[in-house]
Amino acid sequence: MSLLPFCQWLAETRGSIALHESLYMYPLVESTHVIALCLFIGMTVILDFRLVGIGFTSVPLTDITRRLGPWMQAGFVVMVITGVLLFYAIPVRSYQNIFFRVKVIFLILAGLNAAVFQWGIYRRVAEWNMDKKVPRRAFMAGVFSLILWSGIIIAGRMIAYNWFDCDRKQSEFITWAAGCTPHED
Ligand code: HEM
């Protein structure tokens, strides 16, 4: 099922055109997307460093989650709102952008990883809260989180590059993966 017709309709809406053609609004939204990244990812990395044992190992884990949790959530909400606005401003190009698609897959996996941690091993945190070396499942949650969020940032940054855009002739694989309509020779 292709969302292309929906993205084409979205691109014709007054709001999408206004945001896309705006002199200040789009850069403002994108800058906020990047600034919120510092807050959200900055806090997430501190928690992941604690889980993988490369930093803050003398700090009880619940001290980190209790004190940094609200900032992480605030940063995440701002990331999602500004991200959706960035998508809304250029829906067709973003939808057919291979880096955006990779980023969405990584975002889903990162969400799953956080949910498995939150509703799994973290429920028994009282048993290992002070431990410098956390249980294996918590350690793996930290490793996956660091890998997936790094991938999301790299893919997010690559969205701006048009190497694989559909308005160029692409390989069969890229044409399929990006959802391009095949070029007529
Ligand atoms: C919540 C976690 C997210 C992170 C860590 C993240 C990270 C990033 C990064 C690092 C960039 C590159 C910014 C730049 O250097 O110009 C970016 C761009 C972008 N992001 Fe996100 N993002 C997130 C969520 C989202 C969501 C939920 C969407 C849309 C549904 C989204 C849509 C976009 C778009 C369309 C761009 C490209 C902007 C451009 O280059 O013009 N992001 N993101």
Name, in order, each residue with C-beta under 8 angstroms of 101's C-beta and a sequence gap of 6 or more: 177, 178, 179
Greatest alpha-carbon pair distance for the chain in Å reads 64
Does ligand 1 have an atom closer than 6 angstroms to the CB of 165?
Answer: no
**What is the rounded average pLDDT of the residues 65-82?**
96
- The residue whose CA has the least distance to atom 14 of ligand 1 is 157
Neighbour tally for 167: CB within 10 Å: 10
Mutation choice for ligand 1 from 86, 99, 104, CB with most ligand atoms inside 8 A? 86
Does ligand 1 have an atom closer than 6 angstroms to the CB of 75?
Answer: no
* The pLDDT of residue 163: 83
* The pLDDT of residue 182: 67
Pairwise CA distance, residues 75 & 26, whole Å? 19
pLDDT class of 116 with cuts at 50, 70, 90: very high
**What is the rounded average pLDDT of the residues 72-81?**
97
Q: Is 20 exposed, middle or buried (0-12, 13-18, 19+ CB in 10 A)?
A: middle
| Each residue's pLDDT tens digit, 25-49 | 999 999 999 999 999 999 999 999 9
pTM above 0.85, yes or no: yes
pLDDT class of 185 with cuts at 50, 70, 90: low
Bigger pLDDT: 185 vs 161: 161
For helices 61-89 and 14-21, the axis angle rounded to 10 degrees is: 100
Pairwise CA distance, residues 110 & 18, whole Å? 32
* The pLDDT of residue 167: 83
**What is the rounded average pLDDT of the residues 161-180?**
86
* The pLDDT of residue 119: 95
Q: How far is the CA of 100 from the centre of ligand 1 (A)?
A: 8
79, 152 in Cβ contact below 8 A? no
